[in-house]
Amino acid sequence: MSIAPTSAQQLACKFDDRSATIGVIGLGYVGLPLALQFESSGLNVMGFDIDPAKIDKLRAGQSYINYLPHDDIATAVARRLQVTADFGRLSEPDALIICVPTPLDHHREPDLSYVLNTTREIARGLRPGQLVSLESTTYPGTTDEELRPLLEQGGLKVGQDVFLVFSPERQDPGNTRFGPHNIPKIVGGCTPACLELGRKLYGIAVSQVVPVSSTKVAELAKLLENIHRAVNIGLVNELKMVADRMGIDIFEVIDAAATKPFGFVPYYPGPGLGGHCIPIDPFYLTWKAREYGVHTRFIELAGEINSGMPHWVLHKIAEALNNAGKAIRGARVLIIGIAYKKDVDDLRESPALELLDLLEDRGAVVDYHDPHIPFIPPIRRGRYDHHSVPLTANGIASYDLVLVATNHRAVDYALLKAHAKVIVDTRGQYRDKRPNVVSA
């Protein structure tokens, strides 16, 4: 008498012979590259997103992320990538990977609504033999305490009928050296069976899988990575202000310290923190830590310093204009780079947007130039109606001040330096200081 294979055994076989279908929920900066990676590894992939415009573009073989070529999208869609806004099809894939936002609410507390609503949608059609993986950054305990009860409410048991893991995204948008295929993938499971299936899933598409003992370890590991960066950036931003008062070039200081072959990692200052991770993720831990009676003073201090950097830059702008006999009110200012980091088209939490707000609130007339963002997307049009202006000699000379907020490589910095009246440089782009260049 033969014994029917268990749900875990059946799913493991599908991963082993690559017959599994992978579902990726949320086709943004994390989900879309991941979907492409699984598809290029030979698996059938279903991509889910609530934005019909994204679905239409992908079906037409068009990319909406500047570092993902149209040809890669068209090839994947022609082969094994389906995309849909129909969440009634969530029961079809064998594995479902959640890549949706985890922002902060207006009280600066974790907003898990996207994750929990997605999990509820999954639970409606959940069937035995499915694996669910959460990649969205969150506080320790989310996977076990929030997702697991939702998935089990229909009677299926995690670790026996269905399987649940946490595997944090580690994307670095625009990084040409590291991508989904060669960034090691941390995986923590709710049970040993969950962990083993998570290892098999990601082992298909990623060169190295790093198993850990629990979902909480995986969740905290991701927060540690981002808190490490936030704290060190906060440190160097504070040192930048000290160095400025002392008349010292902080970028020269960092370059000198970085010659030490051990014990030092260079971090660079800027006008503030941007992107979805570094400005937000540390506060997921500070919020959860309060439940245990712990106050994360070190993390909160770094956050305070980093969030105050746009105001520091504003002060340097006012000072530079004042030295030129101008006030902020009525001044014409050109912001170079509106994205949160160089060479990407990502506006999330961009300090350049905050600087645009601060300047306009004080009466400045502000334009921007960004080779990757021709206009501020409709989702932000409630406040902004700006389009990227071209860089010409006469155009640059017409502004009272040029602010380098994001140092895209495609910008002609020599043209700027030759024709700008005053440049406030927040990124250390101009190392050979000129009379019209002010570091900020």
Positions marked active-site: 277
- CA atoms of 154 and 132, how far apart (whole Å): 15
H or E element in which residue 134 lies? strand 131-134
Instruction: Give 388's DSSP letter.
Output: B
Q: Exposure string (b/e) for 110-124, b if CB count within 10 Å is 16 or more?
A: bbbebbeebbebbbe
Bin 40: left if φ > 0, else alpha if -120 < ψ < 50, else beta. Answer: alpha
Bridge-partner residues for 202, per DSSP?
Answer: none
- CA atoms of 237 and 270, how far apart (whole Å): 7
- CA atoms of 271 and 264, how far apart (whole Å): 23
One-letter identity of residue 90: L
One-letter identity of residue 140: P
Q: What are phi and psi of 61, to 5 degrees?
A: 75, 30
H helices present in 126-278, as ranges? 142, 148-152, 192-203, 215-246, 250-257
Quick one: how many helices (H) and strands (E) in the chain? 16, 13
- CA atoms of 43 and 263, how far apart (whole Å): 42
H helices present in 259-350, as ranges? 281-291, 297-307, 309-323
**430-436: long-range pairs with CB below 8 Å, 24+:** 430/404, 431/249, 431/251, 431/252, 433/249
C-beta separation of 310 from 376 below 8 A: no
- CA atoms of 1 and 4, how far apart (whole Å): 10
Contacts of 169 (CB under 8 A, 6+ apart): 30, 34, 99, 135, 136, 137, 222
For residue 258, what are the CA distances in angstroms to 156, 252, 268?
54, 10, 11
**Closest listed residue to residue 388, CA positions, set 406, 372, 403:** 372
- CA atoms of 432 and 429, how far apart (whole Å): 9
C-beta separation of 265 from 232 below 8 A: yes
